[in-house]
């Protein structure tokens, strides 16, 4: 099988969101799926409970996408990103809404850390749990699609090249040479949870996604290894 090289630094384009609560459960899943998925996403749910040493422990099982979505003054964001890198993260998220000054600083940090090992700072555009009716009051003057385009363009001009967006905005961001990480991936559109803007894996790849984040559809499956393999095979069937 030909690997999707754009998924780098993940092993393949399927990133498993480890949205569970205990250390033992997390490590068991990571051990079971380390040879299947491209990497693991960790966020505040586990980081705040177990700390950065736990991130290092999971990173021994596979590449880590550390999704704490930093949104602060540039110096604080820089310190958080450096700490994430030191813990073993290969991907880290910040909010594009943090503005040009912060994003330019992030681009400098990314260039520096990439001299050590492959590392990407992803800028989050609009959360997939938002739709047009649930946007914050100060963001409702234009459609979500336009917000995403404007933020992606800001990310690009600031010197970063990686964006998190919903699959519904993938068409809008083609031909910008961006690494596009897409949550809200489901085989069944009925299983949306709190995600508002979702899509199947094959369609998301056709629309230009570089990597796909999948959580509950795998974690809540009767056989998580078989289901994770199905998602990975869908990626390779599409290539």
Residues designated catalytic? 69
Query: Do 148 and 128 form a contact (C-beta atoms < 8 A)?
Result: no
Which residue in the block uniquely carries the two structure tokens 């409702």?
Answer: 140
DSSP for residue 27: H
CA separation, residue 234 to residues 65, 187, 193, 203, 204 (Å): 21, 10, 22, 10, 11
Task: List helix spans (H) across the chain.
Answer: 23-33, 44-50, 52-59, 74-86, 100-113, 144-158, 201-206, 216-219, 224-238
In the block, tokens 């505040």 appear at 44
């Amino acid at each position: 099988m030909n690997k999707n090289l754009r998924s780098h630094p993940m092993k393949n384009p399927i990133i498993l969101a480890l949205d569970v609560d205990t250390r033992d459960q997390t490590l068991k899943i990571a051990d079971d799926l380390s040879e299947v998925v491209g990497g693991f996403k960790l966020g505040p749910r586990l980081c705040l409970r177990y700390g950065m040493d736990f991130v290092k422990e999971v990173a021994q099982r596979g590449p880590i996408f550390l999704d704490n979505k930093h949104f602060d003054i540039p110096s604080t964001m820089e310190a958080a990103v450096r700490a994430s890198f030191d813990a073993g993260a290969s991907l880290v998220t910040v909010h594009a809404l943090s503005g040009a000054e912060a994003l330019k600083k992030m681009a400098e940090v990314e260039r520096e850390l990439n001299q050590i090992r492959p590392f990407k700072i992803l800028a989050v555009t609009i959360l997939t749990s938002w739709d047009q009716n649930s946007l914050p009051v100060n963001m409702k003057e234009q459609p979500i699609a336009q917000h995403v385009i404007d933020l992606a363009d800001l990310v690009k001009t600031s010197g970063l090249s990686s964006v998190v967006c919903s699959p519904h905005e993938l068409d809008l961001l083609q031909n910008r040479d961006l690494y596009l990480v897409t949550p809200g991936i489901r085989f069944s559109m009925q299983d949306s949870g709190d995600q508002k803007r979702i899509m199947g894996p094959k369609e998301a790849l056709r629309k230009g996604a570089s990597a796909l984040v999948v959580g509950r559809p795998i974690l809540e499956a009767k056989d998580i290894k078989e289901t994770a393999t199905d998602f990975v095979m869908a990626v390779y069937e599409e290539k």
